[in-house]
Amino acid sequence: MSSNKTNKRLLDWAFKLSLVTIFYNLIEGGLSTFYGAEDETLALFGFGVDSFVEVISGLGIVHMVWRMKSHSIESRDKFERAALKITGSAFYLLVLGLIVGAVINIYVGAKPHTTKVGAIIALFSIATMYFLYKAKIKVGEKLNSAPIISDAHCTKTCFYLSFILLGSALIYEIFRVPYVDALGSLGIAWYALKEGKEAFEKARTNALGCTDCCS
């Protein structure tokens, strides 16, 4: 198989992985925000909003990979930079909302009805994000593509984020530790802050770090 055909096949797979990431985050975000509000668990609700923000970021990645399929790219276009800026702004708003929500919940002594659904969603997310991370890393390394590898590391961050949700959900459900849900939401806020900062940094940096590897 020629190098061009191999690259085309790998880019097709990268494109499909990007679409799977978007659709999974849409489903995860819908379930998490619904049950987060229903069960009054701020950590799960914040996790769901984070998933929706990841969808915006994912649209930029899909667009980027689609361009890679047509020709070599060396910089982000206007759509990708706009997606990153919107993503960064949304993450910062999420951080603010989670901090305010956590403070209020701690002050009034609010507790979730249950965190079982959060634990279940976290387990599914851990399995899915691990698969997506390994698959994206494999494709990115074969293509020697810095943008795809960077996207894989964003997926790895979601993988770690799922462990925060799982930990807070299990600790509360088993031991009924006060405020652990609020603390879990603050852990999610910390990761969201990092992701927001990284999104703005990427938007300011036009170069992708990938020149002739994505043709």
Q: What is the pLDDT of residues 36-54, one digit of tens each?
A: 999 999 999 999 999 999 9
Extract the tokens encoding 204: 């300011």
Percent of the chain topping pLDDT 90 = 87
For residue 212, what pLDDT band results from cuts at 50, 70 and 90?
very low
| The two three-digit tokens of residue 18, written as one number | 């990007």
- For helices 42-70 and 146-175, angle between their N-to-C axes, nearest 10 degrees: 170
pLDDT over 70 percentage in the chain: 95
Task: Indicate the pLDDT class of residue 214, thresholds 50, 70 and 90.
Answer: very low
Bridge-partner residues for 207, per DSSP? 75
Return d(Cα 68, Cα 66) in angstroms, integer: 5
Mean pLDDT of the chain: 93
Residues 156-182 have pLDDT tens digits of 999 999 999 999 999 999 999 999 999
Q: Which pLDDT score is estimated for 207?
A: 64
pLDDT of residue 72: 80
The pLDDT assigned to 74 comes to 78
Instruction: Determine the average pLDDT of the residues in 93-119.
Output: 97
Q: What integer pLDDT is reported at residue 34 of this predicted model?
A: 98
Between 213 and 32, the higher pLDDT residue: 32
Per-residue pLDDT for 211 more than 50?
Answer: no
Q: Taking the CA of residue 80 as centre, how many other CA atoms within 13 Å lie in the half-sphere pointing to its CB?
A: 23
Domain-by-domain residue ranges, the chain? 3-203
Reported as half-sphere exposure (CB side, CA atoms, 13 A), residue 83 has a value of 18
Neighbouring C-beta atoms of residue 108, cutoff 10 Å = 8
Q: Please give the Cα distance from 162 to 45 (Å, whole number).
A: 13
